[in-house]
Amino acid sequence: MLKNILCPVHREGWLYVGLFALAAFIGFKFHMHLGWIFLILTAWCAYFFRDPQRVTPIRAGLIISPADGLIQSISKVAPPEELHLPPTPLTRVSVFMNVFDVHINRAPIDATVKQVEYVPGKFFNASLDKASKYNERQIFLMTMPDGRDLIVVQIAGLVARRILRWVRTGDALRCGERMGMIRFGSRVDVYLPDGVMPMVIEGQRVYAGESVIADLQSAEPARTGKRS
């Protein structure tokens, strides 16, 4: 647990950490309570932008979670219309990240980025289903080694105001490689290839770069579970 908390801060966060630290310094000059408030916000900001090392399973065919958070929903929906793909429903696994989760997003499998589409939009709560259609989002169409496609969508949330991507069309990604982040609360959707069953259930916690969410080589039916 300490390794997940006391870990490097990603370079995207240092500006915010510095601004909060400066505000804390100024706050202590005027009022002790104000200084403590900004000092706590400084610590939280460093915690939010943490970038822990992850150990990624590397067996061929494993699809790994691209985000930390809870499996919010698993549903059959058509792929994003911006990709102009056939409207055949695919299994969509949605991972919801709250403001305390690591927000670095990682490639779910070895793949080449075939297409990237940025869609401006609104900022509804990312836990709502309509966020997939109306919120600001970044869509990645990736081609896997076996020729099949995988879709990953970064979705801005109620608090999130910027989606960052660190890969471009044509980039060859390794499973677990950092591909972007979303600032301050959001969601990531993964559209599995047709016929691939998820190996997670709604309400389950997953970790980017480590948790297996599907297996291209598995013939298992979709999993079920219950809270205990």
What residues act catalytically?
186
H helices of the chain, in order, are: 2-5, 14-30, 32-48, 131-134
DSSP state of 210: T
Cα 77 → chain centroid: 19
Distance between CA atoms of 115 and 119, rounded to whole angstroms?
Answer: 13
Report DSSP letters for 35-90, one per residue: HHHHHHHHHHHHHHTB---------TTEEE-SSSEEEEEEEEEPPPGGG------E
Residues in Cβ contact with 100 at an 8 Å cutoff, skipping those fewer than 6 apart: 47, 48
Residue 13 half-sphere exposure, CB side, CA atoms within 13 Å? 24
Please, are residues 222 and 198 in contact by the beta-carbon 8 Å criterion?
yes
Two structure tokens written together for 174: 């390794």
